[in-house]
Amino acid sequence: MPSQPPVNTTLASGDQLSWRRAQLVFDSTLLSHFREADIRYRTQLHPVEKAPTEWSANFRREVGPLSPGKYLFRVWGQDYVGNVTGPQEFSFTVLAPPWRRWWALLLFGVLAAGAVAGVVAARTRAHRRREQALSALVAARTRELQDA
């Protein structure tokens, strides 16, 4: 399957993302207007990470690909003096691919049950035909013995 081209969109907290878009880039900005080169950030993607990352000058965080589920992305900012802002939180859900949703699993179950029922019915018919053939053969041999 060819890879999907990146899609640049702004998402709102609580959005549901397709399983195909489970790779995200978060850009953070702390408005300081003074010594912006000294601003540091830390992030946490819950439940993937149990603790926030170390402070870093990197304002961009790439995550993914993510498995289906609910996530909470947190970001903190720290100015040059050490004042911490945040966490700002962004929640989102990555949806399961269509073949892993409840209706697809139900359909697979029904198809599997139908296949099992079909195999059982075919084997039962084959056993009945064989039983009839053997009964006919026994009857023919019995007649031959009676005639003899």
Q: Tokens in use for 25? A: 């880039």
The pLDDT tens digits of the residues spanning 86-127 come to 888 989 888 888 887 888 889 989 999 999 999 999 999 999
**Which long-range CB contacts under 8 A does 82-86 form with residues at least 24 apart?**
85/30
The pLDDT tens digits of the residues spanning 36-77 come to 888 999 999 999 889 998 998 888 888 878 888 899 999 999
pTM over 0.75: no
